[in-house]
Amino acid sequence: MVVVVAVVVVAAAAVVVVVVVVVIVVVVVVVVVAAAAAAVVVVVVIVVVVVVLLFLLLLLPLLLLLFNMAIIIIIIFFLMPGNNSLLVATISQGS
């Protein structure tokens, strides 16, 4: 009788140990996978942000140049006396 109780206790202890080890392994695997997924997401976000910033840094001077050229063209067309007289002559011809 004592031997049967001892065997049952040892078997129960072994089952508890196995269950605890399995739970620990599962938790570690889940944490590692979650950390890896988070790291991948962070790396992707960082890469996207860097690419967008580089694109904006490369595009910004071009946009400023085009904007300045447009302003210069508008100033040339609307502030030069020759163009104004041409504009006035065209308007008076039309009427």
* pLDDT tens column, 77-94: 776 665 555 555 556 565
Q: 41 by DSSP, 3-state: which?
A: helix
Kind and range of the H or E run holding 78: helix 2-79
Question: What confidence tens digit (pLDDT) does each residue in 60-77 have?
Answer: 888 888 888 888 887 777
Range of the domain at 76: 14-94
* Any domain includes 3: no
Look up the pTM and report it. Answer: 0.43
Which residues does 3 contact at the CB level (< 8 Å), separation at least 6?
A: none
Show the tokens assigned to 68.
């300045």
Q: Please give the DSSP secondary-structure letter assigned to residue 80.
A: -
Number of domains in the chain: 1
CB 83 within 8 A of CB 76: yes
d(CA 31, CA 18): 20
Whether 30 is covered by a domain: the verdict is: yes
Classify residue 6: in a domain, yes or no. Answer: no
